[in-house]
Chain A
Amino acid sequence: MNESLLSEELFRRSFIIATVIGILSRGLVLRVVDKQYPSRPEDYIEQIIMSGLAASLGAIAFPALLDKEFAALTFFAVAIQQFQGIANQERTALRNIDQSLIVPKGAAYIEEICTTYESRSYISLATALAASITYIRVYKVYDVGYITAGFIAVIPSIIIGLLFRKYLVRKSIGDIANIVPAQISFDDCILRVNGVYMQNIGLEDTRKRYLEDGVAVEVKTKSLGNFGIINDDGQRQAMINNIFIHMGIDKDVDEKDILAIAKTDLDKNSVVMVYIPLIKDMDEIIRVIKSTPIIESAKGKQSAYRKQY
């Protein structure tokens, strides 16, 4: 294409630089994902491929626009459909796996993971777009060398990447709540934690196990405005699943009387949980609960109390 406004070299270099930057910026947030729920090599490859796709779309958009190839811009629509496709696929997979988990993730947590998959692809797209625009503009307007222009192109991408990251990093339960050990007691056969009714435990043996190996905690928000978050059922299930992932549970499939449940202490506005981990390590359990991400669907519940307190 000789009538193009961009020389072949400029196009090639801007494309390569922008794509690489786009993929690297996905790497920036991948680490956060890893901390919060374990990823695997297959996932990494899929994510890298997807970020490569997103980044190349971002990198090609500006040159296409300069060449007045407007039809090519429809690929943005295709891309968005792609990213939604990923979220969908992930949702199906996670739901299927959730059925055989002893302590399931729950629908809310799964939705959270899926939306994250989707939104993180946009980071690559945005940073690659920023890099390619900067590169081409800087090169054309200021007439600097290729390498200098490459370095300058990195700057806006880093800014955008960091903005996304700051905006998307989830807060965790530790930011809004204190976790204190609670008291397990039996009222004949009624299991209570801090006096809150949990469940009826019939077997004498199981009651003994609860008293000996069980742990109970109370999650208290720092303000009433945040109580809605931990009062959300999906959020509670996410906390329990997080304990399970980190600490295991001393239970097999057919032991129905070993529970991993959370109930609300409606008088004190807190959430109490009872759990039998493989190893009774209170400090670790408190740390694990604190590290649970706050899921988006739990936010904004009971928001009327937020201003008063």
Chain B
Amino acid sequence: MDKIFFIGIITGLISRLIMLNTEQKQYPTQPNVLLTQMVLAFVASSLGSLLVPALIDRSYTSITFLSLAAEQFRQVRSSRREALHNLEEVQLVKRGDDFIEEIARTYEVRNYMCIMVSCLTVGMFRVLTSEFNINEGVAQIIGGASGLALAFYMRKLLSRKSIGEIADVVPVEISFVDECIMKVGDLQGVTNVGLESDRKLYLEKGLAIEIIPKDNSYENAGILYDMGQRQTIIYNIYSRLGIYRQNDEPAFYPLPRRNPKKQSIMIAYIPIEKDINKLIEAVKSTPILATAKGKNISLSKYKINS
């Protein structure tokens, strides 16, 4: 086998590895998942590197294995979706369908990325040596470099922004009006908390924040408004800070609600430990879902009036 074949596999694997970092930050990776992902990345990269030599040998049927690979990766997406769906039942705070779709799609796309990177590496090498008569050593270097360049470009393209980039998060007060109606900041009527003891717990241990879209922009407000995005935010808080709630206490389930005056989102939450900075940090680090984007697109000429 050619040296370039291995270079192709290596660039493909590197492209997957550099994406792994962001992933770990945003939702905890488990060792088993990590292993399967690396194996898949290896398969994807070797398919990508094999493609060009196979075509040069005119083994026409070999192009079918590309289709097979694409089928495989879609399967990865389905199986991730199913696994996460099954987990939903036993979560104290759910991920929500939108977040699950986002994660599953990411798994699929990242495998495609490996194929693209390794295929470009080997393809570039072949084109350079056969069309431009550049010597092999130089062509290997250029091929490897172009593969890596694509890998880093894709990383930039695919990296998700987080809530901190489109919104400010500020602490607000929880209070109760008319005895049992919860008021968060200046938003009245978030929910009705009947039991005296529950209200006391909210006042003592609860924290509340307001997520205000930056630049008074309706497009940022549209992202926060999306129900899937709101669920992702509370899931992220839950996965970082835990929740002070038994699995049969509906009164403490966090309800992110919209404040119509500022188009902001209000959340009252009872973490295990009362630390507002950790809470703000958790909200800010929540990834923005692709499906939440692209709302309110006609309102770009307007600003939210405070």
Contacts and interface: CB of A to CB of B under 8 A. Distances in A.
Interface in A42-97: 42-43, 45-46, 49-50, 53, 56-57, 60, 63-64, 67, 69, 71-72, 74-75, 78-79, 81-82, 85-86, 89, 92-93, 96-97
Contacts of A8: 56
B60 A69 contact: yes
Output the residue of B78, B113, B130, B291 with the most chain A CB within 10 A. Answer: B291
A43 B222 CA distance: 20
A42 B101 CA distance: 12
Where chain B touches its partner, the secondary structure class is helix
B101 A247 contact: no
A53 to B, nearest CB: 6
A247 B296 contact: yes
B303 to A, nearest CB: 10
Contacts of A259: none
Output the residue of B57, B60, B298 with the most chain A CB within 10 A. Answer: B298
A290 to B, nearest CB: 12
A49 B116 contact: yes
A6 B97 CA distance: 52
Contacts of B226: 100
Interface stretch (A137-145, A177-185, A248-256): A248-256
A71 B227 CA distance: 50
Contacts of A49: 70, 112, 115-116
Interface string A109-138: 000000000000000000000000000000
Interface string A227-256: 000000000000000001111101011100
A253 B229 CA distance: 13
B234 to A, nearest CB: 13
Contact of B63 (A16, A60, A97): A60
B229 to A, nearest CB: 9
A170 interface: no
A171 interface: no
A45 B112 contact: yes
Interface stretch (B103-111, B173-181, B236-244, B273-281): B103-111
Interface stretch (B4-12, B20-28, B257-265): B257-265
A67 B61 CA distance: 12
Contacts of B221: 248
A197 interface: no
B77 A45 contact: no
B71 interface: yes
A95 to B, nearest CB: 9
A8 B56 CA distance: 8
Contacts of B36: none
A210 interface: no
Contacts of B297: 38, 245-246
A89 B299 CA distance: 31
A11 interface: yes
Contact of A38 (B74, B77, B115, B293): B293
A96 B85 CA distance: 11
Contacts of B218: 248, 278-279
Given A38-B297, A53-B67, 20 more contacts: A8-B56, A37-B294, A38-B294, A56-B66, A67-B58, A67-B60, A69-B61, A75-B64, A82-B67, A82-B71, A89-B74, A100-B97, A100-B227, A246-B299, A248-B225, A248-B295, A278-B299, A279-B302, A281-B298, A284-B298
Interface of B: 55-58, 60-61, 63-64, 66-68, 70-71, 74, 77-78, 81, 96-98, 100-101, 104-106, 108-109, 112-113, 115-116, 127, 130, 154, 157-158, 218, 221-222, 225-228, 231, 257-258, 260, 263, 290-291, 293-299, 302
8 contacts: A45-B116, A49-B112, A67-B58, A78-B64, A92-B78, A97-B98, A100-B227, A252-B257
